[in-house]
Amino acid sequence: MPRRAGTYSKTKIAVPDYPGIRANAERAVTDELGKLARPDDRIARAAEIIGQADAEMALHLPERDQMAASLWFYEHILGLHKVMGVYPTAYREALSKALYGDAKTPLPADDLHLEELPRIAQAHKLPRIENAAERLPEVATVVAEARYRRAAAVPFMQDAALALSEEPYGWEGERIAQHAGVPAKLIWQQWAAARRRRGH
Q: Where are the domains of the chain?
A: 18-151
pLDDT tens for 30-83 read: 999 999 999 999 999 999 999 999 999 999 999 999 999 999 999 999 999 999
Tell me the C-alpha to C-alpha distance, in Å, between residue 182 and each of 120, 130, 163, 196.
Answer: 42, 40, 17, 21
Decide if 113 contacts 5 (C-beta within 8 A).
Answer: yes
Residue 145 confidence class, pLDDT cut points 50, 70, 90: very high
Q: What is the mean pLDDT of residues 137-148?
A: 98
Residues in the chain: 200
Write down the pLDDT at residue 4. Answer: 60
H-helix or E-strand spanning residue 134: helix 132-165
Q: What digits encode the pLDDT tens for the residues 5-38?
A: 667 889 999 999 999 999 999 999 999 999 999 9
Q: Is pLDDT at 117 greater than 60 in this prediction?
A: yes
Give the whole-angstrom CA distance, residue 30 versus residue 32.
Answer: 6
Q: How many CA atoms lie within 13 A of 11 on its CB side?
A: 15
pTM above 0.85, yes or no: yes
- Distance, CA of 82 to CA of 10 (rounded, Å): 16
Task: Report the pLDDT value the prediction gives residue 146, as an integer from 0 to 100.
Answer: 98
